[in-house]
Amino acid sequence: MKRYIVQRFVQIVIILFVILTVLFVLFRLAPGDPISRMVDPNMTPEDAALLISQLGLDEPLFTQYIHYLKNFFTGNLGHSFHYGEPVMRVIGQRLPNTILLFTTSVILSALVGISWGKIASWHKGKKTDITLTIISLFTHTLFLPWLALLMIWFFGFKLSWFPINGMISPEIWINPDSGFFQKGLDVLHHMALPLFTLFIMHFGSYLLVMRSSMLDTLKEDYIITARAKGLTEKKIRNHHAAPNAYLPVVTSVGLSLAFSINGGALTETVFSWPGIGRELVFAVSHNDYPLAQASFLLIATVVLFSNLVVDVLYAYLDPRIRY
């Protein structure tokens, strides 16, 4: 296992280097340029030239690439062209918002999907199984922007139960009399619509994966042996079949948590949720190279290490697996 982990770390370093290079090239090939967006038309040519020089945008591409690699390996991801702040500070302000929303949605979807998947597999071919499977297939194939806009229109506009955008109510947060509990409820109130939308979109995938894995597990000899011993159906399902059916689900949940770091650009944009996904769309559309590169790099790093963690968990959950 130790040798395997070391080998994977070496692979991750090589892949990250390739990703660094690809990101640098792709953003330089993208249409438009940050200079035209940053330089104020009222600035003098001398001031504009000084600004461009300070950002290093007047240097040859190869020189920019060398500085780019040097800054990365020294932990300096540069300054955002738009905000004029260190990229890590901008990401640090948005990342907790993304983690709060998407990690909560993944955990909630996984818990419900896995539970219902076990029930569906146990009632294979019956009304319960058919109903849960149809619901899962229907919700899993919905178009996310359409569903999000439908939620906003019905629950936010028609019924006025929830806010239609943003993460907080400014009047509550600037009020000195508002306590921590009141502010927390305000965030949860704003989070309800995007959270419910993400739950509807994703619980079906966990249900279907768990159902399929459980159906394969229920064919094993040790399930027949457990029944022959007189164990209850509930104990066989939850203590014998389910633990051995978790491996594919662990992969699905692990990768979902990893990809949740990108914030789901569509979801955050539709609901105006101030997270990494929305910031990534803004950075790309405004040619903010440092911010966009750092955001993509963060996503790639988390996904690569999540794959490693999932592989190690496989060996822990199933002692038969060896690397």
The whole-angstrom separation of Cα 257 and Cα 195 is 14
Whole-number pLDDT of residue 177: 76
- Residues 300 and 242 both lie in one domain: yes
- Residues 295 and 232 both lie in one domain: yes
Q: Which residue has the tokens 């939620």?
A: 151
Pick the last residue of a domain from 39, 73, 107: 73
Q: Do residues 53 and 264 make contact, with C-beta atoms less than 8 angstroms apart? A: no
The whole-angstrom separation of Cα 115 and Cα 248 is 15
- Helical packing angle, 127-140 and 87-122, nearest 10°: 160
Q: Which residue has the tokens 């899993």?
A: 140
Nearest to 270 by CA among 201, 199, 162, 197: 197
Q: Which residue has the tokens 């709060």?
A: 100
Residue 269 lies in a domain: yes
Burial of 187 (0-12, 13-18, 19+ CB in 10 A): middle
- Residues 111 and 31 both lie in one domain: no
φ, ψ for residue 106 (rounded to 5)?
-65, -45
Residue 81 lies in a domain: no
Residues of the chain with pLDDT under 70: 30-58, 258-263, 317-323
Whole-number pLDDT of residue 283: 81
Q: Do residues 137 and 201 make contact, with C-beta atoms less than 8 angstroms apart? A: no
pTM of this prediction? 0.77
- Domains held by the chain: number: 2
The whole-angstrom separation of Cα 120 and Cα 211 is 6
Q: Do residues 174 and 85 make contact, with C-beta atoms less than 8 angstroms apart? A: no
- Residues 139 and 253 both lie in one domain: yes
Whole-number pLDDT of residue 275: 84
Whole-number pLDDT of residue 50: 67
- Residues 98 and 240 both lie in one domain: yes
The first and second tokens of residue 82, run together, are 């738009």
Residue 83 lies in a domain: no
- Residues 154 and 236 both lie in one domain: yes
Residue 323 lies in a domain: no
25-62 in b/e form (b: 16+ CB < 10 A) is eebeeeeeebeeebeeeeeeeeebeebbeebeeeeeee
Residue 80 lies in a domain: no
Whole-number pLDDT of residue 317: 67
Burial of 193 (0-12, 13-18, 19+ CB in 10 A): buried
Q: Which residue has the tokens 């979109």?
A: 201
Q: Do residues 318 and 311 make contact, with C-beta atoms less than 8 angstroms apart? A: no
Q: What's the farthest any 2 CA atoms get from each other in the chain? A: 87
Mind giving me the DSSP string for 197-216? Answer: HHHHHHHHHHHHHHHHHHHH
- Residues 27 and 97 both lie in one domain: no
- Residues 153 and 239 both lie in one domain: yes
Residues with Cβ within 8 Å of residue 53, at least 6 apart in sequence: none
Q: Do residues 295 and 287 make contact, with C-beta atoms less than 8 angstroms apart? A: no
The whole-angstrom separation of Cα 64 and Cα 67 is 5
Output DSSP code: residue 59: S
- Residues 166 and 274 both lie in one domain: yes
Host domain of residue 260? 88-317
124-143 in b/e form (b: 16+ CB < 10 A) is eeeeebeebbebbeebbeee
Whole-number pLDDT of residue 178: 76
